[in-house]
Amino acid sequence: MKSKAAKERKVLMCGNEVIGEAAVQAGCRHYFGYPITPQNELTAYMAKRMEEVGGVFLQSESELAAINMVLGASACGARAMTSSSSPGISLKQEGISYIAGMELPAVIVNVMRGGPGLGNISPSQSDYFQAVKGGGHGDYRIIVLAPSCSQELYDLTALAFDLADTYRNPVMILADGILGQMMEPVALRQINPKHVKKPWVLTGAKNRPGRRLCSLFLETGGLEKHNASLQEKYRRIKAKEVRCETYNISGAEVIAVAYGSSARLTKAAVKMAEERGIKAGYIKPITLWPFPEDVFIKEKDKNKKYLVVEMNEGQMVEDVERCVGDRKRVFFYGHAGGWIPQTEDIFKRIKKLA
């Protein structure tokens, strides 16, 4: 019998490959992608692994094609995934809107880079708005998971497939160039994919009437009803799927808020502050949608200050302001364009606010 250690062997892997391995372990056998930096290791890894496990890898002619191949594979019941980086994710938005409207599961990985436009290939958190506030057209939500280390890349990718199937909804892994490129040890724990019944899948209408999957509702009141049902689903997701890591919120005078790569650096800065006698804590949202609103709303102390650290010009900070309800106590530290915050500099800002 294999020991637990053997089952959970730790290996040194590049972040992009960790996502790929988690997807394979989670039962993903259909991957469609198009080259773009800084996520190319994931595409190459899936090309190799899909051959090994007898899955389907297809390098598509465009991001548009890739997301629509995901749509087709998902409509036929497969656990399907695509990945890209910021400009490519913009191209996928049309398909994501359709997938959300048709209520199909799908996992989309965005290894973010700097924007707008072609931007650059440096790590960035430039796509928070796009991921969390809609991205494509129409009133829809996608679940957005924000890993901050390789282990979370592995665990959250596995979770993404379960959530996508459970809610028949797209799920995005919002990583960045640091996470994608970085190598660190990760425990490849055994993943037991959740088996969700899919009575809506297109298989050919054997001994039954034909099924249809669509996002078009022309009959009077039809689209209104469909949207109401989507909103009901989103309320269920908000009630059940918020994930967040917190540290010393109650004792802190200054609470740092960050996700992804910037959360790691922010946690180190909070520790540095504590060592110097400053009452500091942090909130690290793991689900960016649903946003951990209650953590902020339930905080009754009206003197606490919040420092939001992002590798952009201030995007999540708007959600923090919304939830805190007092903009005067919410501060922002961040830049766009490939900038990475230094622990020392975050610490200085925490110190200034304390």
Partner 1 sequence: MKKVFGRTRTLRDTHTHYCPGCGHGIAHRLVAEVIDELGIRERTIGVAPIGCAVLAYYYWDLDICEAPHGRPPAVATGMKSVNPKNIVFTYQGDGDLAAIGFNETIHTANRGENITVIFINNAVYGMTGGQMAPTTLCGQVTATTPSGRNVKRYGHPIHVAELLANLPGVSFSSRVALSDIPNIMKTKQAIKKAFQVQMDGKGFSIVEILSPCPTYWRKTPVESLKFIKEKMVKTFPLGVFKECGKK
Nearer Cβ to partner 1, position 30 or 113?
30
Contact 295, 283 (CB under 8 A): yes
CA angle 267/270/271 to nearest 5° reads: 90
Nearer Cβ to partner 1, position 22 or 78?
78
Contact 284, 244 (CB under 8 A): yes
Nearer Cβ to partner 1, position 72 or 314?
72
Residue indicated by tokens 């899948």: 201
Quote the least distance from Cβ 108 to partner 1, whole Å: 14
Nearer Cβ to partner 1, position 58 or 269?
58
Which residues are near partner 1 by CB under 8 A?
30, 32, 56, 58, 60-62, 64-66, 68-78, 80, 94-95, 98, 102, 202-207, 209-216, 218
As to burial, measured by CB atoms within 10 angstroms (0-12 exposed, 13-18 middle, 19+ buried), residue 330 is buried
Structure token pair of residue 139: 């009133």
Quote the least distance from Cβ 62 to partner 1, whole Å: 6
Quote the least distance from Cβ 208 to partner 1, whole Å: 9
Q: Could you tell me if residue 314 is left (phi over 0), alpha (psi between -120 and 50 degrees) or otherwise beta? A: left
Quote the least distance from Cβ 251 to partner 1, whole Å: 51
Phi, psi (5° rounding) for residue 212? -135, 145
Quote the least distance from Cβ 246 to partner 1, whole Å: 40
Nearer Cβ to partner 1, position 206 or 298?
206
**What b/e string do you get for 80-98 counting C-beta neighbours within 10 Å, with b at 16 or more?**
bbbbbbbbbbbbbbbbbbb
Quote the least distance from Cβ 180 to partner 1, whole Å: 25
Quote the least distance from Cβ 64 to partner 1, whole Å: 6
Quote the least distance from Cβ 181 to partner 1, whole Å: 29
Nearer Cβ to partner 1, position 58 or 112?
58
Residue indicated by tokens 């249809």: 212
Structure token pair of residue 132: 């969390």
Structure token pair of residue 74: 């998902």
Nearer Cβ to partner 1, position 102 or 330?
102
Nearer Cβ to partner 1, position 134 or 180?
134
Rounded to whole angstroms, the Cα distance separating 86 from 109 reads 10
Going by C-alpha positions, the residue among 36, 34, 37, 42 that lies closest to residue 15 is: 42
Rounded to whole angstroms, the Cα distance separating 147 from 154 reads 9
For residue 109, the SS3 value is: strand
